A and B are shown apart, each in its own frame.
Chain A
Amino acid sequence: MRAAFDEMNGLGGEVRSPYLDVAEWLGTQKVDDLKRKVIEAETLFRRTGITFAVYDSQDSSERLIPFDIIPRIISASEWRRLSIGIEQRVRALNAFMYDLYHRQEIIKAGRIPEELIINNSAFVPEMIGAKPPRGIYSHIVGVDIVRTGENDFFVLEDNTRTPSGVSYMLENRETMMHMFPDLFARNRVSPIEDYPENLLKTLESVVPTDVDEEPTIALLTPGIYNSAYFEHSFLADQMGVELVEGQDLFVLDGALQMKTTLGPKRVHVLYRRIDDEFLDPLVFRPDSVLGVPGLFDLYRAGRVAIVNAPGAGIADDKAIYSYIPEIIQFYTGRAPILKNVPTYNCRKADDLAYVLDNISELVVKEVHGSGGYGMLVGPTASKEELEGFRKKLEANPDNYIAQPTLALSTCPTLVNAGVAPRHLDLRPFALFGDRFRLVPGGLTRVALKEGSLVVNSSQGGGTKDTWVLQD
């Protein structure tokens, strides 16, 4: 694999212009001082309670996501291009979902195979014909973007269900401003603190139309043992909305109610952070205790808004992913501004044959996997791992896609030995309600192991503050 593009140093020439000031600052810092700063930051995180739980981990204690203090910097012109590309995707994906749950023009036009939708577990047939407020399915989209060169950005995944990580975007900035105020004095870094306000406006814009009282908005969390619980409570707090669990809610008099000390109180908009299948035991998983019996009927009757809508996962399904350029073209009449990564659908015989022949150079992912679980990175895998995956592919090809291993860009990162390049990605958080909103920034995730391309926090990845510079 050729050397990766570095966000600070490009391909090894001069320092790239967005990093001029930070590179100079970094040159004057002692590694030990920086490490002390990291400990200071982590103490701060622990005190505030910014922790997360790891699934499947024996050790149930709360962990910190490692925070790296060297920022990831994006220039104003790079951001302009990313943001129009993101807006194009978010609009097209919502149009796509509206179509899928209504007339299915795109299938009739033969642009996407019917069985890919109908047999897809992320497609929710109960949503067919439902009318979500403003026709929007995915109000909050976290678009995972990677970079391989000066002008080469790719979208790796559109998270249209319940993307998480925005609290880290906000807290990382707070921490950096607290520890290095002088850096912010010298660099024109776009503020991101409007995000909670923007999210609230987005939620308010989908209040059911029959409401004449002050609308009540609530954030539905699975509870304190969920890995993203901190984020749920953080966002509810920042927006000043109720943080509820399924046990706090019930259906009465054709409305969603929460159990308050004064008796039932109607909820108009539910920002849910639980998966579709847990939303309503009468319609989806009958054993779910996280959701509310009867919620889905209310939703279909337009008595409550659910954000993101049930069934929004169809747009970020990995089997659909390779059709996204087609989808964007179909609904916007324009070519995609942000590129997709070339993808092999192993359900196709030709693609499967190619993947089996070239597995050691590819990244193989489960169609329904997330969080970096069930994934193979060919170039760094052992012989046994490759062989194991080959068997899985042959046994159940529909379950896998494969992509070329991208040389993700790197950024200088503080590691044990000092400052060294580590691979990273970027997840900006787009909001779509009465209008499209995007705060200039995102969550930068960084793989802390040398050479690793897996940035997920569940796999030991860290995060960085993400700066979008102003002109």
Chain B
Amino acid sequence: MLGRTANDIYWLARYVERAENMARLIEVGYRIALLPREGEDYTEEWRSTLASAGCADAYFARHETLNTRDVINFLLFDCENPSSIQTCLSKARRSGRAQRIALTRDMWEALNDAWIEFSGIRPVDVTANELPRILDWIRSRSALYRGAMLNTILRNDTYYFSQIGTFLERADNTARILDVKYYVLLPEVEMIGSGVDNVQWGAILRSVSAHRSYRWVYRQSFNPWRIAQYLIFHRAMPRSLRACYDEAMSSLDGLAQLCGERHACHETAMETKRILVESDIDNVFQSGLHEFLLDFIGRNNRAGREIAEAYHFVG
């Protein structure tokens, strides 16, 4: 496979995953912005949404104040925002078009249809009543693309690069959501019980579509210690760091087998996975949740850079 093809396939998967995560973040932020509250300003919620999306600086370069309308437009449509849904879909479609041959017909049509339909949505169409429908639609498009990929693609390098892209992106997203809200998860907070409530904890879980599954797994009410445990270490939770690394590692191993060679990226990812398998939430809280997450995000980025190097990504 051409290095440029591998590069496009990998980033195509990342951008589709990012668009879906973005839709989820907007949904949660909007939900909280709608809640009745006394005195307290909802703009803090939007600030942390932007931070989770990794685009707070880009936002404030373009807007002076935080308000729901501007934030939503910025996250959905702004071409200057490297992570807006518009940017994600258009970059994903551009990569897909460049690699039309590597994609199956089902994958291409899922992608192209999403892009065509999204291009038809104007900011003025996004009314308060329409927003949830549009966000649902974006998530369903992402699911459709992934479903098409999983159902139709040969289990060869295209599949592996696509999976690796998806799970590195997802791990990054989950780690960022946790990091932005890490202070509401610290055990002391539970003790103090001040200003933080179920809403915040619920919001974290909702951001990774885990608020229902949490109850099925733990059969208890939200508890910050368990939330962190669930999103970092639980292998059954499909957006946990552990689950992402199980998947990414299995595709990296598949690639190594196909190519007959292991690279630095394999070592880096193995080491990260080892930490996720061997450590636990007590250790993490001892050494510091924030430090743990920063370290993880750094390792995850390094794995991405090493993959690009090992497989001669061009473009």
Contact B100 A260 (CB under 8 A): no
- Residues of chain A contacted by B277 (CB below 8 angstroms): none
Q: Is A233 an interface residue (CB 8 A)?
A: yes
With both beta carbons as reference points, the residue of chain A lying nearest to B93 in the complex is identified as: A49
Please provide the chain A residues from 243 to 291 with a CB less than 8 Å away from any CB of chain B in the complex. 243-245, 247-248, 258-263
The residue that A261 contacts in the complex, of B98, B101, B312, B315, with Cβ under 8 A, is B312
Measured CB to CB, the closest approach of chain A to B307, in angstroms, equals 10
Contact B100 A49 (CB under 8 A): yes
Listed stretches B1-9, B207-215, B225-233; interface member = B1-9
Q: Is A237 an interface residue (CB 8 A)?
A: yes
Contact A260 B1 (CB under 8 A): yes
With both beta carbons as reference points, the residue of chain A lying nearest to B111 in the complex is identified as: A49
Measured CB to CB, the closest approach of chain A to B257, in angstroms, equals 13
Q: How long is the Cα–Cα vector from A49 to B108 in the complex, in angstroms?
A: 9
- Residues of chain A contacted by B108 (CB below 8 angstroms): 49
- Residues of chain B contacted by A46 (CB below 8 angstroms): 116
Q: Is A242 an interface residue (CB 8 A)?
A: yes
Q: How long is the Cα–Cα vector from A258 to B1 in the complex, in angstroms?
A: 9
Q: How long is the Cα–Cα vector from A263 to B100 in the complex, in angstroms?
A: 22
- Residues of chain B contacted by A179 (CB below 8 angstroms): none
Contact B312 A263 (CB under 8 A): yes
Contact A224 B6 (CB under 8 A): no
Q: In terms of DSSP, what is the predominant structure of the interface of chain A?
A: mixed
Contact A261 B112 (CB under 8 A): no
Contact B101 A237 (CB under 8 A): yes
Contact B109 A261 (CB under 8 A): no
- Residues of chain A contacted by B314 (CB below 8 angstroms): 247-248, 259
Q: Which of A48, A236, A244, A260 has the most CB of B within 10 A?
A: A260
Contact B98 A248 (CB under 8 A): no
Binary per-residue interface labels of chain B (88-119) against chain A in the complex, 1 for a CB within 8 Å, 0 otherwise: 00000010011011000000110011001000
Q: Is A47 an interface residue (CB 8 A)?
A: yes
Q: List 18 A-B contacts (CB under 8 A).
A: A47-B112, A49-B112, A224-B94, A233-B101, A236-B101, A242-B2, A243-B101, A244-B2, A247-B4, A247-B315, A248-B4, A259-B2, A259-B312, A260-B312, A261-B1, A261-B2, A261-B311, A262-B259
Measured CB to CB, the closest approach of chain A to B163, in angstroms, equals 15
With both beta carbons as reference points, the residue of chain A lying nearest to B161 in the complex is identified as: A261
Measured CB to CB, the closest approach of chain B to A15, in angstroms, equals 39
- Residues of chain B contacted by A236 (CB below 8 angstroms): 101
Contact A224 B3 (CB under 8 A): no
Q: Is B157 an interface residue (CB 8 A)?
A: yes
Q: How long is the Cα–Cα vector from A138 to B109 in the complex, in angstroms?
A: 36
Please provide the chain B residues from 258 to 291 with a CB less than 8 Å away from any CB of chain A in the complex. 259
With both beta carbons as reference points, the residue of chain B lying nearest to A221 in the complex is identified as: B98
- Given A224-B97, A247-B315, check contact A260 B112 (CB 8 Å): no
Q: How long is the Cα–Cα vector from A244 to B98 in the complex, in angstroms?
A: 10
Q: How long is the Cα–Cα vector from A243 to B2 in the complex, in angstroms?
A: 9
Closest 10 CB pairs of A and B: A261-B311, A237-B101, A233-B100, A259-B3, A261-B6, A261-B1, A224-B98, A259-B312, A248-B2, A224-B97
- Residues of chain A contacted by B97 (CB below 8 angstroms): 49, 224, 229, 233
Please provide the chain B residues from 134 to 166 with a CB less than 8 Å away from any CB of chain A in the complex. 157
The residue that A47 contacts in the complex, of B4, B98, B113, B312, with Cβ under 8 A, is B113
Q: How long is the Cα–Cα vector from A237 to B101 in the complex, in angstroms?
A: 5
Total number of B residues with any Cβ neighbor in A under 8 Å: 21
The residue that B4 contacts in the complex, of A229, A259, A262, with Cβ under 8 A, is A259
Measured CB to CB, the closest approach of chain A to B118, in angstroms, equals 14
Please provide the chain A residues from 193 to 251 with a CB less than 8 Å away from any CB of chain B in the complex. 223-224, 229, 233, 236-237, 242-245, 247-248
- Residues of chain A contacted by B116 (CB below 8 angstroms): 46-47
- Residues of chain A contacted by B101 (CB below 8 angstroms): 233, 236-237, 243
Q: How long is the Cα–Cα vector from A263 to B2 in the complex, in angstroms?
A: 9
With both beta carbons as reference points, the residue of chain B lying nearest to A237 in the complex is identified as: B101
Q: How long is the Cα–Cα vector from A236 to B99 in the complex, in angstroms?
A: 11
With both beta carbons as reference points, the residue of chain B lying nearest to A43 in the complex is identified as: B116
Q: How long is the Cα–Cα vector from A236 to B101 in the complex, in angstroms?
A: 8
Q: How long is the Cα–Cα vector from A237 to B98 in the complex, in angstroms?
A: 12
With both beta carbons as reference points, the residue of chain A lying nearest to B260 in the complex is identified as: A262
Measured CB to CB, the closest approach of chain B to A436, in angstroms, equals 29
- Residues of chain B contacted by A261 (CB below 8 angstroms): 1-3, 6, 157, 259, 311-312
Q: How long is the Cα–Cα vector from A259 to B312 in the complex, in angstroms?
A: 7
Please provide the chain B residues from 167 to 222 with a CB less than 8 Å away from any CB of chain A in the complex. none
Contact B2 A258 (CB under 8 A): yes
Q: How long is the Cα–Cα vector from A223 to B109 in the complex, in angstroms?
A: 20
- Residues of chain A contacted by B113 (CB below 8 angstroms): 47
Q: How long is the Cα–Cα vector from A263 to B312 in the complex, in angstroms?
A: 7
Contacts A248-B4, A261-B157 supplied; 20 other A-B pairs, CB < 8 Å: A46-B116, A47-B113, A49-B97, A49-B108, A233-B97, A237-B101, A242-B2, A244-B2, A245-B4, A247-B4, A247-B314, A247-B315, A248-B314, A258-B2, A259-B312, A260-B1, A260-B3, A261-B3, A261-B259, A261-B311
Q: How long is the Cα–Cα vector from A417 to B98 in the complex, in angstroms?
A: 39
Q: How long is the Cα–Cα vector from A190 to B213 in the complex, in angstroms?
A: 59
Q: How long is the Cα–Cα vector from A236 to B113 in the complex, in angstroms?
A: 23
